[in-house]
Amino acid sequence: MDMTGKTIIITGASRGIGAETAREFAASGGTVYLLGRSKNDLNEVSAGIGEKAKVRICDVSIYDDLAAVINGAFKDTGRIDVLINNAGTIDPISTIQFSDPYAWGKAIDINLKGVFHGAHAVLPIMIKQGHGTIITVSSGAAHSPLEGWSQYCSGKAGAAMLTKCLHHETEQFGLRIMGLSPGTVATDMQIKIKASGVNPISALDPTVHIPALWPAKALLWMCGSGAEEFCGTEISLRDAEIRKRVGLDGF
């Protein structure tokens, strides 16, 4: 994929999948806006990328924060070509009975409402320009209940349905809406999960987790014509055929 001249917004870009995705899109020629709450971490990622990276501090759970960044990026570049909804949290890991209702709600604000906030802010721009791709990083947890992860499972399930709703409402305007379920990825989130000792995911051997580079490459591939047939759906990196099409079979 050649992203030269294109503007890409990536939430949760300070580490893991988001940071690796920023590197991939910038290496392909795009201008990448790195969104997150940790200025130091974002600056570190940006420094490794160079002038193609723009750091913006915001909280996706606060609509005005995210909308201001998106509108600012559009003012800077005159276009928004791709929005990657990657920001997410696994906290609080707790059974429903013992969950803190406020922490549970904050997680929904990030994992579900954050996706809505980004889409809501970017849709007028993409619809007016007649093109745009919105991809949300999903999870197998969207489709299977897991002990201690009620907020994560529920938020990801809602985001998966939101992806379908977005496609249903915007396909007529030429927009491309998809989800990516990467499987378990070697990120800081997996460290928290391992430490919790809750549910079977925490018992997985760390060697089974894929590198963050894999979903980053998949997200870039999904912005091209090769993924057109998957608009409105969720792509899974557990699928060997998908990995082959992305070009990961040699990794």
- 57 near 36, Cβ under 8 Å? yes
Residue 247's identity, in one-letter code, is: G
Tokens of 93: 């890991």
Residue 128's identity, in one-letter code, is: K
Closest to 135 measured CA to CA, from 211, 21, 56, 213: 21
Distances from the Cα of 72 to the Cα of 29, 61, 89, 94, angstroms: 20, 18, 25, 38
- 34 near 58, Cβ under 8 Å? no
33 is catalytic: no
Among residues 33, 63, 102, 152, which one is catalytic?
152
DSSP 8-67: EEESSTTSHHHHHHHHHHHHTT-EEEEEES-HHHHHHHHHHH-TTEEEEE--TTSHHHHH
3-state secondary structure of 178: strand
Active site residues: 152
